[in-house]
């Protein structure tokens, strides 16, 4: 963004989009009334990044680093993204999970300045007018949450706003999507969390969420308003209550440009890890039997995505369903249960009722065990040993967050399987040394998926995001794990390469979208070069 004489002096220094801080040249300082307002030394952007790194090293915790970086974003957006993109593997855990769990728990207490938009139930009937208060018209991605199910913390209402903010930061840091086209939104529908409603510093509505019929009307007005005010915008649903997440994705996926990362993103990164694991085993998806501990939106979404992927391998939907079994807090999804949702009923098996994971493993004989239960420690030694007895290379994915909710640790999985497990978790566990070997736990983190998919959607402007597009994202990611990495048991590319990984995936997804006839822009001759030309690079304007 070029500098403008309309902003001068402290007004220019207080504009996060235009501020260069100590990088303003001597000529710019004279022209824009900045002389005397800055230290004498003119610095490069890289020198400023070096100073930020030193500040961050002195902070006592990642929560303090998050707060510091949030302040930096409000002061100098270019420098903020230059820092994040200088080492995504270092900064993703600070600006997103796992630090965001602590951030969201304390969001109302550590609140500093507004970012994004808060749309409350009190605004019904005028949401279009409220959205027009946003200063940018070309919003292309709007990440929206109700705060109903945040990182294993449950319903935390507007404290969940940290999630859309962090998610969109990763669109840019990991996918180079321009930050000016991104908008985080909190739908304030109240909260079931009575402790928050009683907290004098809580920033949201102090009421229970409305019944589904009333919520439907509110969400319908919101989606319609977004389509009117930001007609090219993709709605990214994030961390809604499980039943709501499934309900609204089903409702809008064929009528609006939308995506649910908890459902589709989790499914895609899990599928990518499975594809890589099966390359190591020299097997196909069609040869597997999948057992999920957890049958909420993430579990059901991943199961549904597996059905779509299996159908691509020539397996019928019914045959695919027979290969997938799920358990929830009330036990096995089986035909005698009367408490199953419509989405769960399709997976109900004609098996005896059971709440025993180990017994279900012995009866169903899965090759793949996936945890999305938030039940920490559920994959016990006996569970892993049984999976290892049934399979020479058991695939074990404990995906629940935060760490206390992980169904097992990497060290446990490798130790109890005698080093044979193919392992990925929802968080990054450290490398494990055992019997003279080094094991490299994978992290099935959605940041491998949504920034790449987002960049491709930003470029090609499709009307809808289909399961086939999401599956192509998973396959593009898996194909970037080279044979040498697979030989070491790695299931995902290095996080340090995430920007190049995302651009490579985006180019392939874009090609797929063009091949499907779903793009609404003209196909370029060189898709990779075209994608790169659209990416954001954190540099100061001349």
What is the pTM for the complete model shown?
0.94
Establish whether 188 is an annotated binding residue. Answer: no
Question: Tokens 């220019």 label which residue?
Answer: 12
Establish whether 76 is an annotated binding residue. Answer: no
Residues 6-18: what's their mean pLDDT?
A: 94
Angstrom distance (rounded) from CA 480 to CA 490? 11
Residue environment code for 37-51, b if the CB has 16+ CB neighbours within 10 A, otherwise e: ebeeebbebeebbee
Residue environment code for 302-313, b if the CB has 16+ CB neighbours within 10 A, otherwise e: bbbbbbbbbbee
Q: pLDDT tens digits for 140-154?
A: 999 999 999 877 788
Residue 2 has pLDDT above 70, yes or no: no
Tokens of 519: 């793009």
Establish whether 328 is an annotated binding residue. Answer: no
Q: Determine whether domain 282-444 maps to CATH 3.40.50.720.
A: yes
Question: Tokens 């990984």 label which residue?
Answer: 501
Question: Tokens 């180990």 label which residue?
Answer: 358
Q: Which three-class secondary structure string do you get for 15-68?
A: CCCCCCHHHCCHHHHHHCCCCCCCCCCCCCHHHHHHHHHHHHHCCCCHHHHHHH
Residue 43 has pLDDT above 60, yes or no: yes
Do residues 1 and 541 touch, judged by C-beta distance below 8 A? yes
Q: What is the CA radius of gyration of the chain?
A: 24
Residues 110-130: what's their mean pLDDT?
A: 96
Of the candidates 279, 509, 277, 282, the residue with the CA atom closest to the CA atom of residue 290: 277
Tokens of 275: 């594809």
Angstrom distance (rounded) from CA 103 to CA 77? 20
Question: Tokens 């940290």 label which residue?
Answer: 162
Residues 89-94: what's their mean pLDDT?
A: 91
What's residue 541's pLDDT? 87
For the chain, what are the domain ranges?
1-43, 116-260, 282-444, 447-534
- Asked if the domains 116-260 and 282-444 are classified in one and the same CATH topology, the answer is yes
Q: Determine whether domain 116-260 maps to CATH 3.40.50.10380.
A: yes
Q: pLDDT tens digits for 256-314?
A: 999 999 999 999 999 999 999 999 999 999 999 999 999 998 999 999 999 999 999 99
Q: Determine whether domain 447-534 maps to CATH 3.40.50.10380.
A: yes
Taking every pair of C-alpha atoms in the chain, what is the biggest distance, in angstroms? Answer: 80
What's residue 542's pLDDT? 83
Establish whether 254 is an annotated binding residue. Answer: no
* Active-site amino acid positions: 96, 167
Sequence-separated (6 or more) residues with CB below 8 Å from residue 12: 3, 18, 19, 32, 33, 34
Count of residues making up the chain = 542
Of the candidates 34, 36, 42, 41, the residue with the CA atom closest to the CA atom of residue 18: 34
- The DSSP code for 205 is -
What's residue 403's pLDDT? 86
Do residues 454 and 441 touch, judged by C-beta distance below 8 A? no
Establish whether 250 is an annotated binding residue. Answer: no
Angstrom distance (rounded) from CA 454 to CA 467? 14
Do residues 134 and 202 touch, judged by C-beta distance below 8 A? no
Residues 358-376: what's their mean pLDDT?
A: 96
Question: Tokens 């993103």 label which residue?
Answer: 265
What mean pLDDT, rounded, does the chain reach? 95
What's residue 153's pLDDT? 80
Residues 36-55: what's their mean pLDDT?
A: 97
């Amino acid at each position: 963004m070029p500098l403008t004489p309309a902003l001068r002096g402290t007004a220019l220094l207080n504009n996060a989009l235009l501020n260069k801080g100590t990088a303003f040249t001597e000529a710019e300082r004279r022209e824009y009334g900045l002389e005397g307002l800055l230290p004498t030394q003119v610095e490069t952007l890289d020198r400023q990044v070096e100073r930020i790194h030193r500040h961050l090293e002195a902070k006592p915790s990642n929560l303090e680093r998050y707060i510091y970086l949030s302040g930096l974003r409000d002061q100098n957006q270019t420098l903020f993204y230059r820092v994040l993109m200088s080492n995504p593997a270092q900064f993703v855990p600070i600006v997103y999970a796992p630090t965001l769990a602590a951030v969201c728990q304390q969001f109302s207490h550590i609140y500093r300045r507004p970012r994004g938009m808060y749309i409350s139930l009190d605004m019904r009937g005028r949401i279009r007018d409220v959205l027009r208060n946003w200063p940018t018209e070309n919003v292309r991605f709007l990440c929206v949450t109700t705060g109903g199910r945040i990182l294993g913390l449950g319903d935390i209402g507007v404290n969940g706003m940290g999630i859309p903010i962090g998610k969109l930061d990763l669109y840019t840091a990991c996918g180079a999507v321009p930050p000016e086209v991104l908008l985080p939104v909190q739908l304030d529908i109240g909260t079931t969390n009575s402790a928050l409603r009683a907290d004098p510093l809580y920033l949201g509505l102090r009421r229970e969420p409305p019944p589904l019929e009333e919520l439907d009307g509110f969400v319908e007005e919101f989606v319609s308003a977004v389509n009117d005010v930001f007609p090219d915008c993709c709605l990214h649903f994030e961390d809604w209550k499980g039943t709501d997440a499934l309900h609204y994705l089903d409702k809008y996926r064929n009528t609006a440009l939308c995506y649910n990362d908890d459902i589709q993103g989790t499914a895609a990164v899990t599928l990518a890890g499975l594809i890589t694991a099966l390359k190591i085993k020299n097997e196909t998806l069609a040869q597997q039997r999948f057992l999920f501990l957890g049958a909420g939106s993430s579990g059901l979404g991943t199961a549904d995505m597996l059905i779509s992927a299996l159908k691509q391998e020539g397996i019928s939907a019914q045959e695919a369903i027979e290969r997938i079994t799920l358990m929830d807090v009330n036990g096995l999804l089986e035909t005698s249960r009367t408490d199953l949702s419509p989405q769960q009923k399709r997976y109900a098996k004609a098996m005896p009722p059971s709440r025993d994971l180990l017994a279900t493993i012995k009866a169903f004989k899965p090759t793949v065990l996936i945890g999305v239960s938030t039940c920490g420690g559920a994959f016990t030694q006996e569970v892993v040993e049984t999976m290892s007895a049934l399979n020479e290379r058991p695939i074990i994915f404990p995906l629940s967050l935060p760490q206390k909710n992980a169904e097992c640790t990497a060290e446990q999985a490798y130790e109890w399987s005698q080093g044979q497990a193919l392992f990925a978790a929802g968080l990054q566990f450290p490398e494990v040394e055992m019997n003279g070997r080094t094991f490299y736990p994978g992290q099935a983190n959605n940041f491998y998926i949504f920034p790449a998919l987002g960049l491709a959607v930003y470029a090609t402007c499709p009307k809808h995001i289909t399961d086939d597009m999401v599956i192509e994202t998973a396959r593009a990611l898996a194909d970037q794990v080279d044979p040498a990495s697979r030989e070491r048991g790695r299931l995902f590319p290095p996080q340090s390469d995430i920007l190049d990984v995302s651009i490579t995936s985006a180019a392939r997804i874009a090609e797929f979208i063009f091949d499907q006839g779903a793009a609404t822009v003209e196909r370029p001759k060189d898709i990779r070069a075209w994608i790169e030309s659209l990416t954001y690079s954190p540099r100061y304007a001349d």
